[in-house]
Amino acid sequence: MQAHSSFFLAPAIRSAQISAEAKHVRSRSTSWSVSLFGAAFALTALGANAAHAEGVSAGTLIENTATATYDDGGGEKTIDSNTVTLRVDELLDVTITSLDSGPLAAVPGEAVLTFEITNQGNGPEAYQLTANPVVAGNDFDTTVDSIAVDTNGNGTYDPGVDEILTAPETTAVLAADETLTVFVIVTVPDGVTDGQESDIELTADAVTGTGAPGTLFAGQGVDGGDAIVGTTGASATATGELLVGITSVDLTKAASIVDPFGGTSAVPGAVVTFTITADVAGSGSVDDLIVTDTIPDGTTYAAGTLALDGNPLTDVSGDDAGEASDASGISVDLGTVAAGSSQAITFNVTID
């Protein structure tokens, strides 16, 4: 009777074992699929959406379905789990940097500082800009006249061409990873003195919102998803610097002519004397000041005529501060030059 009972119970036991195994397989398969969720399916999403500073593009749908296979005694079976769909939320992040290589020379009147804004988030975002000219430690404060966008993309402020932002100064929507060059136009007051410094801060705040990292703005992201503040707080500030009396160099070139007939006409055979004057202004000094010039087409360099402040220089490189030839033109190494000084370089050519 015991054997007989075992005969009838065996299928049920086997079925229970199969069910348990299938459940175990399903569990393992689900676990496996979920463990690869961040890799395999993130990669799938990246295949259709470029990776940005903050990863997969906001609004991307990431879908995941687990699969299990088992044998119930009647052949191999395959079952799928339900599909889990996630929409990638928008991260709000931004950076801003000064594009000026150092302090800008300042004199009373207009000065232009240049900045670059980068959308470091993973979705489109606009930024409100605020310029602050009153920074602790300033020797003087400027007046902010306007903030402009580099409309033509040449990196230089062009009045009448570059767009002046109106209050509240807000950029157009920037795509993820997109950069924008902006200018802060200020007025330096009268009465500033040599060596005084002033900083101007430019802040960019995400229009959607700012706050501590992790701050959530429900439903305000791409396609109605959430927007979440990233590591920058969705706000960034950069500083531009002005320095009164910073050393600068101005070059002026002039020409005088003596023709073969004792006149000043530019005719073949006439000798042209070029004078290049280098004026160093401001305070301090400049280093490695080198003045170069080409020999104009249609003329020939008059050998041995290169001079600095009336003192002859050789044409050969290495003998002194100068060198000259028809092919390479003239070059004079003035070295370190103090502010307030002026030096004149002369050389002759003959009109062919």
Q: What is the pLDDT of residues 91-114, one digit of tens each?
A: 899 999 999 988 888 888 899 999
**Who has greater pLDDT, 14 or 265?**
265
Half-sphere exposure (CA, 13 Å, Cβ side) for 200? 33
- Non-local (6+) Cβ contacts of 189 within 8 A are 108, 140, 141, 142, 143
E strands, 72-164, in order: 76-87, 90-92, 94-98, 104-106, 109-119, 127-132, 143-149, 163-164
How many whole angstroms separate alpha carbon 81 and alpha carbon 68? 8
**Who has greater pLDDT, 233 or 60?**
233
pLDDT at 253: 96
Q: Is the confidence at residue 146, as pLDDT, over 70?
A: yes
pLDDT at 213: 95
